[in-house]
Amino acid sequence: MGKRLDVALERITGVPISELRELPLSERRARVEETAGQPTEFPSLYPAIGRGNVIRDRAITHEEIIHRFDTAFRK
């Protein structure tokens, strides 16, 4: 099933699976927004569950999450 899923993702996105795996989510999102000409929206019924890695305006990296957590923890 893994190979079929890879092929399906490549066909749907038009991007090679190796590139999909390498690019950070924030970069992929920026490319999609540039191509589509409009911002991507991720509506959520539960916006504040856990630490998560999605902020309303953009996705953030793991390093940024750790930095924010460490900063908040030191206060």
Which residue range is the domain that position 31 belongs to? 2-74
pLDDT at 60 exceeding the cut of 80: no
Distance from C-alpha of 55 to C-alpha of 42, rounded to nearest angstrom: 10
- pLDDT confidence of residue 35: 83
- Tell me the percentage of the chain whose pLDDT exceeds 90: 3
Neighbour-count burial of 41, counting CB atoms closer than 10 A to its CB (0-12 exposed, 13-18 middle, 19+ buried): exposed
Strand ranges in 3-75 using DSSP code E only, listed in sequence order: 54-55, 58-59
- pLDDT confidence of residue 44: 60
Number of domains in the chain: 1
pTM, 2 dp: 0.40
pLDDT at 46 exceeding the cut of 60: no
